Amino acid sequence: MLIRRGFHTSALREARKRVKATFEAPKLRAPIPPTAKNIAVKDDHPLWQFFKDKKYMRSLADLENPGRPWTVQELRRKSFDDLHTLWYVCLRERNVLLRESQIYNTWGQDMGQDRFKEVSESIGTTMWRIRHVLSERFHSWRNGIEEFENNYGDLMKEFEERYLSADASRDAEMEGQLERFQYMFFGLKPNFEDNLPSEPIVRGLKVVAQLRLDRFKEGEQEVTDVKDINEAFMLFTADHSPEGIQEAIQTIKQYRTTGDPVPEGEAEYEVLAKIIQSAHEELAN
């Protein structure tokens, strides 16, 4: 029996037909050449600080009348905030001039001296004079602190004598002087709720309360001194008048019958903190 050999096509018929891949190139726009017109910069961009009037570079004509440096005498009449503001105005202007000077020198312009640098140096004169004035004030402040510390007791005694000897017609004036005294010596602010519990504040409350009591007690024999922080608070917050202090004295008499005074130290700070907290709550309500 003869066996016929041949090529079978069944496998080819069963094979999956391949799909021909297709590819389309993306359609690209022609490149846009970079120009200044294609760049949009916000008007409030921080880098505009380095461009005077948004100019790339000022002309020399723009720098013909730049003004003169401030004198030391003029700067001495300025407050610290004014000097601080003027310093940063000068600093910003020098940054602008430095950028323009760099461009000017890069171009190699043969226009004589670098006017941008000259104006910058003139502004620099104002800046070192500002530093000079601030240095004067610092040394004056430091010397004043040293003198104050060396004569602390004498200055306090001098004020106490002046305050207690002033007649009744000067009550309003002496109240203002007392407020300045308490803030200078103890950091004690007139609005009680603005203070923080600390040793100088406690000591200041007692001193000021005793001064108020001595000025307006008018022959009082029972309440002649301040025993604790609560009594100091009553006298400190009373009206600066004989009537106000007499009312506080009556309150102190009632207070002394209720218990022992607050001991000195941490207990006073805790009581003072509660009093200040209560004052804040009353203001909030």
Domain ranges of the chain: 47-138, 166-284
**Between residues 4 and 52, which one has the greater pLDDT?**
52
Say yes or no to pLDDT of 4 above 70. Answer: no
pLDDT tens digits along 137-174: 999 999 988 888 888 889 899 999 999 999 999 999 99
Q: What per-residue confidence (pLDDT) applies to 8? A: 56
pTM of the entire predicted model? 0.56
- Mean predicted confidence (pLDDT) in 224-235: 91
Say yes or no to pLDDT of 59 above 60. Answer: yes
- Mean predicted confidence (pLDDT) in 255-281: 84
Q: Measured between alpha carbons, how far is 63 from 177 in angstroms, rounded to an integer? A: 52
Q: What per-residue confidence (pLDDT) applies to 115? A: 84
pLDDT tens digits along 97-125: 998 888 888 876 655 678 888 899 999 99
Say yes or no to pLDDT of 7 above 60. Answer: no
